[in-house]
Structure 1
Amino acid sequence: MMFRSALYVGAVTHRRVRPKVHQFRYRAFWLLIDLDEVTALTARLKLFSHNRFNLFALHEADLGDGSPTPLRIQAERLLAEAGIEIAGGAIRLLCMPRTLGYSFNPISIYYCHRPGGELAAIIYEVHNTFGERHSYVAAIEANSDEIRQNCRKVFYVSPFMDMDLAYHFRLTEPAERVAVGINASKDGERVLHASLAGLRRELTDRALLRIFLAIPLITAKVTLAIHWEALRLWLKGMRMRTRPAAPARHATPAINTSNRIDTHVL
């Protein structure tokens, strides 16, 4: 059986340009998991499990609303609330797997397809280190090799980032390479650019073991890196912002505003 699920190995890069210049780059990897292949993956792989302990695992509790409801059902509910119908099409989730029982994903991306295979919507699920998460749901109404979307920030992520920002997403569907770029801007001026990029590898036990040895404890590393970079920003004199209450709704719908597939939060 040939899986559409895959391993992507690459790096995460951040560059802040206002009000202080600050940048970093870390090696990283992600799993692209076709949510209809989870049962088959767990049967084939010894080092990957679903909702139980393993070297790597996918747990519903780590994503979505944190309930045991299957992630496909949760994603379909978010799409329905945004008026998007995929009629049983594939949903593929790009995320970092739970590693030796620990999970943290700054951003997880759901690529939601129609039955014919064309991309219908993107769900950007953002997590912060305070145990909160929020999703931005963006419909796609035209085919394009490159997806460009915009939305207004409504969810608190970093204590050093203002809330009155706009996000600008630029990405392509995962193939031999995956790439996602996010710019944050204020009053039309860029504040931060973040990106992730990786090359596809077949999802096998050998590949999983090799990537664990090369980049061990990836999710713990991400959490430590976030706090280390926050300390560096504080030492540079960055002022911490007060954390507002999380949005009342778990997800923010978005709408298309042009043929370039730009979206703005309602």
Structure 2
Amino acid sequence: MTSTMTSIRLCTGEVRHHRLRPAVNRFTYGVFFIRVSLRGTAHQASELSCSGFSHNRFNLLSFFDKDHGDGQQTPLAWVENLLLSEGIADADGDITLQCFPRVFGYVFNPVSFWFCHRQDGELRAVVCEVRNTFGEKHIYLLDTGDIQHYGQELSAKKIFHVSPFCAIEGQYRFRFMRTSRDIGEQHQTQHVARIEYDDDAGPLLLTSIAGSEQNMTATSIARVMLRYPLMTFGVVARIHLQALYLWFKRVPFFSKPLPPANEVSR
């Protein structure tokens, strides 16, 4: 299959997590992630490779098409077909996928965001591709409706099992923000994704991932590899470590149910 990508940006920042009850648990981890622009004037994948990064080939950092969507179509074809099947025909601008890259060939993405824009640059929809450690995934499609801009609150009913310390009830609330500023002669853009989870008793989790863009270069790759070695391996290790903390704090445990019948929900 032929893949098209117009640009890849490297972002460095942090993940924050705050559990409110029945035992308070909070942590902040430094991370890096990539933002892949999927639509526009197409370039061959080889044009987007640099020392330390490759597309569909092993490297220090890499992006593999099969890690996203259904793993059969290109990421762009998959998300375009998904949007059309859900009746969203006006997301005809840029589509940007935000995710962790493979590090030394390994990646686990608890959630990836596909930001789908109209031609005028306004945000039309966000596709949240959520995965759990059991190898399952679910798609939450966030339709912006009549209000099409960054910063608005979007919501989705929770129907997919992620953590054994949260019941499948309640809803997620999302806010996606981006800000730009000039630092000297450089133009810097910061991206923030906030996800808050309310169960039937009220607010339970406050989480976010934020990062500032930089060019994908051999120097920037070397910098993040030195600062966050084996970052994607650490993602899975930290998930299990935090689960152990919750178990020690005697937070109620919920057994894993069967996955939802529908892969996509709104």
* 1:60-99 map, 5 Å: 60-65=65-70, 67-86=71-90, 88-99=92-103
CA distance in 2, matches of 1:42, 1:190: 46
The Cα shift of 1:174 comes to: 6.9
Q: Does 1:29 align with 2:29?
A: no
Contact in 1 for aligned 2:91/2:116 (Cα 8 Å) = no
Q: What is the TM-score when the length of structure 1 is the normalising length?
A: 0.88
Q: 2:252 aligns to what SS in structure 1?
A: coil
Equivalent residue in structure 2 for 1:179, among 188, 192, 196: 192
- Match in the other structure for 1:259: none
Q: Does 1:134 align with 2:138?
A: yes
Q: Does 1:152 align with 2:157?
A: yes
Contact in 1 for aligned 2:13/2:31 (Cα 8 Å) = yes
Q: Does 1:189 align with 2:202?
A: yes
The Cα shift of 1:53 comes to: 1.0
Q: Does 1:14 align with 2:17?
A: yes
The Cα shift of 1:205 comes to: 2.1
Q: 1:14 aligns to what SS in structure 2?
A: strand
Q: Decide whether aligned partners of structure 1 residues 28 and 108 sit closer, same or farther in structure 2, where only a CA change above 3 A counts.
A: same
The Cα shift of 1:238 comes to: 1.7
Q: Does 1:120 align with 2:117?
A: no
Q: Give the AA of the match of 1:236.
A: K
CA distance in 2, matches of 1:107, 1:174: 21
Contact in 1 for aligned 2:114/2:127 (Cα 8 Å) = yes
Q: Decide whether aligned partners of structure 1 residues 87 and 168 sit closer, same or farther in structure 2, where only a CA change above 3 A counts.
A: closer
CA distance in 1, matches of 2:95, 2:179: 12
Contact in 2 for aligned 1:5/1:34 (Cα 8 Å) = yes
Contact in 2 for aligned 1:114/1:120 (Cα 8 Å) = yes
CA distance in 2, matches of 1:172, 1:148: 10
* 1:219-258 map, 5 Å: 219-252=232-265, 254=266
Q: Does 1:47 align with 2:60?
A: no
CA distance in 2, matches of 1:42, 1:21: 47
Q: Give the AA of the match of 1:189.
A: G
CA distance in 1, matches of 2:201, 2:68: 32
Q: Decide whether aligned partners of structure 1 residues 87 and 162 sit closer, same or farther in structure 2, where only a CA change above 3 A counts.
A: closer
Contact in 2 for aligned 1:172/1:179 (Cα 8 Å) = yes
Contact in 2 for aligned 1:42/1:48 (Cα 8 Å) = no
Runs of 4+ in 1 over 6 A off after TM superposition: none
CA distance in 1, matches of 2:59, 2:242: 29
Q: Does 1:169 align with 2:185?
A: no
Contact in 1 for aligned 2:14/2:28 (Cα 8 Å) = yes
Q: Decide whether aligned partners of structure 1 residues 34 and 13 sit closer, same or farther in structure 2, where only a CA change above 3 A counts.
A: same
Q: What is the percent sequence identity of the aligned residues?
A: 36
Q: What is the TM-score when the length of structure 2 is the normalising length?
A: 0.88
Contact in 1 for aligned 2:39/2:93 (Cα 8 Å) = no
The Cα shift of 1:165 comes to: 2.1
- Would you say how many aligned residue pairs link Structure 1 and Structure 2? 250
The Cα shift of 1:188 comes to: 5.7
The Cα shift of 1:142 comes to: 2.3
CA distance in 1, matches of 2:88, 2:218: 36
Q: Give the AA of the match of 1:84.
A: I
Q: Which deviations, in whole Å up to 9, do the C-alpha atoms of 1:55-79 show, x marking residues without a partner?
A: 11111222222x2310111111221
Alignment gaps of 5+ in structure 1: 255-266
CA distance in 1, matches of 2:99, 2:224: 15
Alignment gaps of 5+ in structure 2: 1-5, 181-188
Q: 2:244 aligns to what SS in structure 1?
A: helix
Q: 1:220 aligns to what SS in structure 2?
A: helix
CA distance in 2, matches of 1:128, 1:215: 22
